[in-house]
Amino acid sequence: MVQEQIIGRGIKDLRVIKAMQEVPRHLFIPEALLGQAYGDFALPIGEGQTITQPYLVAYMSEALGLKGEERVLEIGTGSGYQVAVLAHLAWRVYSVERIRSLLERARKVLDQIQCWNVITRLFDGTYGWKEEAPFEAILVTGGSPSIPSPLKEQLKVGGTMVIPVGSRSSQKLLKIRRTATGFLEEELRECNFVALVGEYGWEKQERIS
């Protein structure tokens, strides 16, 4: 997987490559799909959610530019796979999930592989985690109609956010950099994530419309 899908597709950050080698992806996959655990595609994990394809996990992780001393906020724990990769790249990772069954399952696997630097919370992730802010990096694993304002507020000056923004069916992966005077936005690539549901995500948009 790492040689063909990660290195072979242009991921160069050696720390990201090492993390992808060390995190056992099959532990985060439903038992019925174990034979597909290392394929280069997303897989369903229940509750209408998916585990992101390996290449995109590596791509988003590399885009954050982590050095190992950061406090990172991840929105959408899901299977726990992405946060496990981040745990190898940052000092501490705070991960928020709105679906209890997914969070409990992810927490069990994270403990099993000793990701002790990951702190999880059952909550609406579009609010971020105000009590622990600011963060040097924020990674959002659900497609949002816009960038949730609480997440922008909780990003430290000099920090980076990676988030899919667009419609329910397709998004653009954006890299947001906070400066002393505002935010710089860079479009990275097209992508397709499950919807980011919450007060500042699709739930709010649907109520308005």
Residues 67, 88: contact at Cβ < 8 Å? no
Q: Which amino acid, residue 65?
A: G
- Measure Cα distances from 175 to 105, 131, 184, 185 in Å: 29, 24, 8, 6
Any idea what the CATH number is for the domain that residue 107 is in? Answer: 3.40.50.150
Both tokens assigned to 28: 């985060």
pLDDT at 204 over 70: no
Query: Residue 90, SS3?
Result: coil
- 134-164: pLDDT as tens digits: 999 999 999 999 999 999 999 999 999 999 9
Q: Are 152 and 178 in contact (CB under 8 A)?
A: yes
Place of tokens 């653009």: 172
Report the percentage of the chain scoring pLDDT > 90.
96
CA distance 74 to 97: 9
pLDDT of 206 higher than 80: no
Is residue 92 within 8 A of residue 74, CB to CB? The reply is no
Q: pTM of the entire structure?
A: 0.96
**Band of pLDDT at residue 207, cut at 50, 70 and 90:** very low
Domain that holds residue 50: 2-208
Closest CA to 96 of 60, 72, 61, 70: 72
Tell me which residue of 132, 131, 151, 135 sits closest to 198, measured CA to CA.
Answer: 151
DSSP structural state of residue 177 = E
* Total of domains in the chain: 1
